[in-house]
Amino acid sequence: MNLWIAGARPRTLPSAVVPVAVGTGLAIGEGHAVWWRAALALLVSLALQVGVNYANDYSDGVKGTDADRVGPMRLTGSGAKPPKQVLAAALLSFAVGGVAGLVLVAVTSWWLLLVGAAAIAAAWFYTGGSRPYGYRALGELSVFVFFGLVAVVGTVYVQLEYVPWTAWAAAIPVGLLSCAVLVVNNVRDIDTDAMTGKRTLAVVLGDTMSRVLFTLCLSMPYIFVIGLGAARPWALIALLSAPLTLAPSRRVLQGAQGGELVEVLGEAGRVQLVFGVLLAIGLAL
C-alpha cells in the first residue's frame, strides 16, 4: 500500500484540492453552496489527479522514459509493480471520477459530460497513446485549462448553476500555481527527458528560461488576486501567502538540481495549498 500511495504522488494533490476549495469558497460567497455537490466535485478532481499520475507512470514506464529518474516513486519504471497493475489503477481512478461526474451531470447539465470526457482524455493522452501531447510541450497548457479554469469554474457551476465572472478571475491564479508545480517537476527531469525524446516545455525552453517561467507562475497569481480584490476585497487575504514563494523561487533561480528540486516541488505545493485556502476563505467572506 505504501508503494501505491507513493506512486499516486501525494505532493501533486494540492492541484486537485485547491481549485475545488476556491470554487466552493466563491459559491459560499454567492450564498448558494451545495456541500454534497462540492464533495463530488472534489472526488472527481482527486480521482483525475491520481489517475493521471498512475497513467503517466504506466505510459512513461513502458516507453522507457522513467528508467533513470530522480523524484517520486515510479511504480512501472522501477519494476515495483507490473505495468498491467499500474494501468488498472489508472483506469480505476478514471472510473471513480467518471461515476462521480455522472451524478453531477444528472443534476445539472448534459454538457458537463463533454467536459468530463475531455478531462479524462487529456489525462490519458498526456503521456499515453502514440502521440502524447506531454511530449510536445503542451503539458502546462493542459494543466492550466483542466486544473485551473475547468476545475474552478466547474465547481462553481455545479453549485450555482451559473458562472459569475469572478469564477474565471479566481481560476487563472489557481491554474498558474498548478503550472508552477509541473514546471519545477519538468526542470528536475530536463536532462533525462531530453535524452529519451520527451520534449516537455522545459526541454524546449531550456534550463534558464524554465526556471524563470517557474518563478513567474509562482508570483503572477498575486497580481490577479489584487485585481479580484476590487470586487471581493476579502480575497486580498491570499496575499498573506506571498512570502512562502520566496524560498522556492530563490532556490530555483540559484540553480537547484536533483533532490533539491524535489524539495522545491513540496514547497510549491505548500504555496499552492496555503494560497488556495486563503483565497477560498476570502471569497467565502
pLDDT at 66: 60
Q: With bands split at pLDDT 50, 70 and 90, how would you rate the model's confidence at 68?
A: low
- pLDDT, tens digit, 9 for 90 and up, residues 121-153: 999 999 888 889 988 999 999 999 999 999 999
- pLDDT, tens digit, 9 for 90 and up, residues 152-182: 999 999 999 999 999 999 999 999 999 999 9
pLDDT at 69: 59
Q: How far is CA 177 from CA 66, 129, 148, 160, in A?
A: 25, 27, 9, 25
Separation between Cα atoms, residue 111 and residue 73, nearest integer Å: 37
pLDDT at 156: 97
Most confident of 54-63, 162-171, 257-266: 162-171
Percent of all residues in the chain with a pLDDT value above 90, rounded to a whole number: 77
pLDDT at 192: 85
* Confidence check: pLDDT of 34 > 90: yes
Separation between Cα atoms, residue 7 and residue 197, nearest integer Å: 23
* Confidence check: pLDDT of 71 > 70: no
- Give the per-residue SS3 of the chain: CHHHHHHCCHHHCHHHHHHHHHHHHHHHHHCCCCHHHHHHHHHHHHHHHHHHHHHHHHHHHHHCCCCCCCCCCCCCCCCCCCHHHHHHHHHHHHHHHHHHHHHHHHHCCCHHHHHHHHHHHHHHHCCCCCCCHHHECCHHHHHHHHHHHHHHHHHHHHHHCCCCHHHHHHHHHHHHHHHHHHHHHHHHCHHHHHHHCCECHHHHHCHHHHHHHHHHHHHCHHHHHHHHCCCCHHHHHHHHHHHHHHHHHHHHHCCCCHHHHHHHHHHHHHHHHHHHHHHHHHHHC
Q: With bands split at pLDDT 50, 70 and 90, how would you rate the model's confidence at 244?
A: very high
User: Please, what sign has the CA dihedral across residues 41, 43, 45, 47?
Assistant: negative
Contact, 38 vs 27, CB < 8 A? yes
- pLDDT, tens digit, 9 for 90 and up, residues 72-85: 668 888 888 899 99
Q: With bands split at pLDDT 50, 70 and 90, how would you rate the model's confidence at 70?
A: low
Tell me which of 65-69, 111-115, 193-197, 263-267 is least confident: 65-69
The model carries a pTM of: 0.92
* Confidence check: pLDDT of 193 > 90: no
pLDDT at 49: 95
Q: With bands split at pLDDT 50, 70 and 90, how would you rate the model's confidence at 258?
A: confident
